[in-house]
Amino acid sequence: MFDKLGKVLRDNPLTGIATAVVDAATGKKTPDGSAHAFTFDGLRGGEIPLSQYAGKPLLVVNTASKCGFTPQYKGLEALYEEFGPKGLVVVGVPSNDFAGQEPGTSDEIASFCEINYGVTFPLAAKVPVTGADAHPFFKWIAEQRPMARPRWNFHKYLFDGEGRLVETAASVTKPSSLRGAIAKMLDEPAK
């Protein structure tokens, strides 16, 4: 109920509620209901502006290499291999916020993911995902849906093609549990 009310308030210009956020990297204003407002630095350089994925389902996951949930990289890659050709984009965002489980350098993280899990989806540079120093994307998530903020590694955020948050999944939830929601967004038959 409160999510629907929040959406009505955000989408109604008569409420006087701010309807835009500013991407710290680009300075561009984007509707507050859109993940497309944000840009991550890439793990191997460059930038990953989420706006480039407009029109596609987007799965953003905070990750770590030395976590009990690290094998979920395999499930994320499986989703990307299955649905990527149909439009799904997966973006991994390494973070060392939880028990120091991502201590590596960019090269170490990239090599680990490629060698151990065959990761081919985009990986962002390591960033904080909690607290005052959190990347603006994760601050936005915490403001939009406080109960959806990451509480551990491998919290999953699924967005539709307009960058609206459709579903979240906690760390203990396997990536494959999002398969049905992704298939629905891509008008794929459920398996």
What is the predicted pLDDT for the residue at 190?
A: 57
What is the predicted pLDDT for the residue at 144?
A: 86
Cα-Cα-Cα-Cα torsion 130, 100, 112, 157, nearest 10 degrees, comes to -20
Q: What is the pLDDT of residues 99-150, one digit of tens each?
A: 999 999 999 999 999 999 999 999 999 999 999 999 999 999 999 889 999 9
Residue with tokens 């799904």: 88
Q: What is the pLDDT of residues 45-76, one digit of tens each?
A: 999 999 999 999 999 999 999 999 999 999 99
Nearest to 102 by CA among 59, 141, 150, 142: 150
**Is a pLDDT exceeding 80 seen at residue 6?**
no
Structural domain span for residue 85: 35-45+54-153+166-191
Residue with tokens 């609206």: 164
The reply to whether 71 falls in a domain is yes
**Is a pLDDT exceeding 90 seen at residue 98?**
yes
Nearest to 141 by CA among 158, 127, 126, 161: 158
Residue with tokens 């949930």: 69
CA 32 to CA 96: how far, in whole Å?
27
The reply to whether 83 falls in a domain is yes
Mean pLDDT across the stretch 8-22?
A: 34
Q: What is the pLDDT of residues 32-44, one digit of tens each?
A: 579 999 999 999 9
Question: Mean pLDDT score of the chain, rounded to an integer?
Answer: 86
pTM to 2 decimals? 0.83
Candidate list 25, 67, 110, 142, residue with the active-site label: 67
Please state, in angstroms and as integers, the Cα–Cα distance from residue 137 to each residue in 17, 45, 48, 97, 121, following that order. 20, 19, 12, 15, 19
The reply to whether 23 falls in a domain is no
More confident residue, 88 or 28: 88
The reply to whether 189 falls in a domain is yes
The reply to whether 5 falls in a domain is no
Give the SS3 label for residue 170: coil
What is the predicted pLDDT for the residue at 189?
A: 64
| Total domains, the chain | 1
**Is a pLDDT exceeding 90 seen at residue 27?**
no
How many whole angstroms from its chain centre is CA 58?
A: 7
**Is a pLDDT exceeding 90 seen at residue 158?**
yes
**Can you read off the two tokens belonging to residue 24?**
């710290």
**Is a pLDDT exceeding 50 seen at residue 24?**
no
Whether 113 is a known active-site residue: answer no
Q: Which helix (H) or strand (E) holds 79?
A: helix 72-83
Query: Residues for the chain: how many in total?
Result: 191
The reply to whether 27 falls in a domain is no
The reply to whether 14 falls in a domain is no
Residue with tokens 């993940």: 35
Identity of the amino acid at 2:
F
**CATH number, domain at 146?**
3.40.30.10
The reply to whether 108 falls in a domain is yes
